[in-house]
Chain A
Amino acid sequence: MKTRKLILYGAALLFTLLAPFVMPDFKTQLATLWLMIIVALTWDMTGGQMGYNSLGNIFFYGTGMYVAAVICIALTHDVGEYTNAFGDHVYRFTDAQYFTGVALGILGAGVFCSVTALIIGYLTFGLRGPYFAIGTLGVAIAAGELVSNWDWVGGGQGISLPVFPYDLEQGKIFFYALFAATGTVIFIFLRWLYTTRFGAAINAIRDDEEKAEAMGIHTLRYKLTTWSIAAFFVGVAGGISAFQLIHFEPLETAYQTINLGIFMVVCVLLGGKGTLWGPVIGAIVFHLFKEVTWNYLLGWQWVALGALIVVTVVYFRDGIMGWLMHVRPEWFGIRVEKKTGEAMQEAGA
């Protein structure tokens, strides 16, 4: 079992490293796949492991984009003038300025988002179940609308960022590497986190929050920490996306509530909520499905997305991992009561 796991992880790592060279035409798609994996894994932290289904995690993605862009620009230029220039004035960045901007922007995006998550979480974690989902959805929509009215960051036009200073293909590998590294880090991090007491505590919150409170678990503290960590990684992913996309605008790219915002939920549901591999598998399956079918659907792709959500939610709620657990429980070390007669005897006696 141990060696099989090692081989599996080794193969995954090898594939991650070689993929952009083996499939040079698909570098951007591979980078997007990693983005999906990151947002799916982070969504599952709250949605799957903690039972708090957020529809507003996209808020951190969009905010990460804007924070990264503003930091990168503000290091060398005046943000207000830059965003309102519209090509009247050509702003230049040296290589050094670009890479410092990228590094500080991405990190800053992560930190800013995790602090914001603490504040929003403090206000919204008293909301349970559907109220939390709607409340977070509200935060994401409100942020998109407000930012698109905020001229300092470019309003509805959005922001353009400097282009990767070297060869375009190198740029693609650069962004793939950033996404892949972030994704690998969060996967390893979560793999460890879910084995700690912390992981058990957030599972307890998911299964019965009232009981967890009655046992004295610091529920708010755990909820805030979990969301803040998730927000950090989503913010980082947003920051990377900002530099990868070069230009972005608030409603369709940054705070894309019904695109990526809902994709991440679908990925997790498809793969299996509350499992480590579920979000990863779900992201891969969903991304493949989307890339293969999207262009053949001729405008009906969004309808198909809606239908996919409905079908997954209604007929395939446990996802791929849940289905595997059901048919092969021994793979997951689950034991079920064999002698059901005993329990019945006692209850009936």
Chain B
Amino acid sequence: MSAIIEIRDVSKAYGGVVANKDITLSVQQGAITGLIGPNGSGKTTLFNSVVGYHPIDSGSIQFEGKEISRIHVQEIARLGLIRTFQQTRIYKAMNCVENMLISLPHRKMRFLESFSRNSTADYENADRLLDFVGLYEKRFLKAGSLSFGQQKLLEFAMALMNEPKALLLDEPTAGINPTLINGLIDRLLRANREFGITLFVIEHNMRVIMNLAQKIYCLAHGELLAEGEPEAVQNDQRVIDAYLGAH
């Protein structure tokens, strides 16, 4: 297994506030990697640096060996590195199927192909993935009329539709009905196993990340605090202290 995302010595400060300081971590191809940490520890800042939402102060971020810390959001997305948003972003005025069809991998399309209509295979694929996340019944409803949890599932399905190489998920279970969380974990695992998509997940919920990830990094105060197997991180005294605020 080789690293698909390599983050080396990345620092990012907002004015005087250091959000990330010399962070080095790597995400292995085909694995599920978790990123945890208390509120304000710089998880989302690191995510945004990776997907190109702001420039970084120093360090390097590589995706499949290509430096991406200087290029823009859409160029990164076109390399096959897709993210979902903490505050779900879907096209609320369109129905689920339309949402799915918009998410077709445009990077794999030649310019003239974008002038063609969606093929039957595209529709079938959309239906299959909506079925996969359990929204098949609601596929003709306006996405805006779905519940928050369903919208999150839809966004996840849209990301799968895009056939990414790696998927960055920002708190996939936040705001989701606890009874649905197990189903979501199951689907994330299946997406990783069946579609071969590398997952890099920010998660607040320890139980979720323990069941999901093979390797976990923990941030605190903008610095990398611990890394390793789920059990090791879970039992790391520093991680427990950070979460309990005993600093």
Contact = CB atoms under 8 A, between A and B. Distances in A.
A196 B78 CA distance: 21
Interface in B71-128: 72-74, 77-78, 80, 82-83, 85, 89-95, 98, 101-107, 109, 111, 113-118
Interface stretch (A75-83, A154-162, A215-223, A281-289): A215-223
B146 interface: yes
B142 interface: yes
Nearest to B105: A216
B148 interface: yes
B107 A216 contact: yes
Contact of B102 (A196, A204, A346): A204
Interface in B126-183: 140-142, 145-150, 158-159, 162, 177, 179
Nearest to B83: A214
Given A197-B115, A211-B91, A343-B145, A216 B106 contact: yes
B93 A207 contact: yes
B74 A218 contact: yes
A216 B78 CA distance: 5
Contacts of B162: 215-216
B115 A343 contact: no
B201 interface: no
Contacts of B118: 197
Interface in B16-52: 51
A252 interface: no
Contacts of A204: 91, 102
Nearest to B162: A215
B137 to A, nearest CB: 10
Interface residues of B, number: 47
B107 to A, nearest CB: 5
A197 B94 contact: no
Contacts of A198: 114-115
A82 to B, nearest CB: 41
Interface string A206-237: 01101111111111011000000000000000
A203 B159 CA distance: 18
B73 A213 contact: yes
Interface residues of A, number: 33
Contacts of B93: 207
B117 to A, nearest CB: 6
Contacts of A214: 51, 73-74, 77, 82-83, 85, 89
A210 B73 CA distance: 9
A337 B159 CA distance: 24
B101 A200 contact: yes
Contact of B148 (A213, A218, A219, A347): A347
B147 A343 contact: yes
30 contacts: A196-B114, A197-B104, A197-B109, A197-B114, A197-B115, A200-B98, A204-B102, A207-B91, A208-B89, A210-B73, A211-B85, A211-B90, A214-B74, A215-B158, A215-B159, A216-B80, A217-B102, A218-B74, A218-B106, A219-B74, A335-B141, A335-B142, A336-B141, A337-B145, A337-B146, A343-B147, A344-B147, A346-B147, A347-B149, A349-B179
Interface of B: 51, 72-74, 77-78, 80, 82-83, 85, 89-95, 98, 101-107, 109, 111, 113-118, 140-142, 145-150, 158-159, 162, 177, 179
Given A210-B73, A215-B82, A218-B78, 5 more contacts: A197-B117, A215-B162, A218-B106, A334-B142, A335-B142
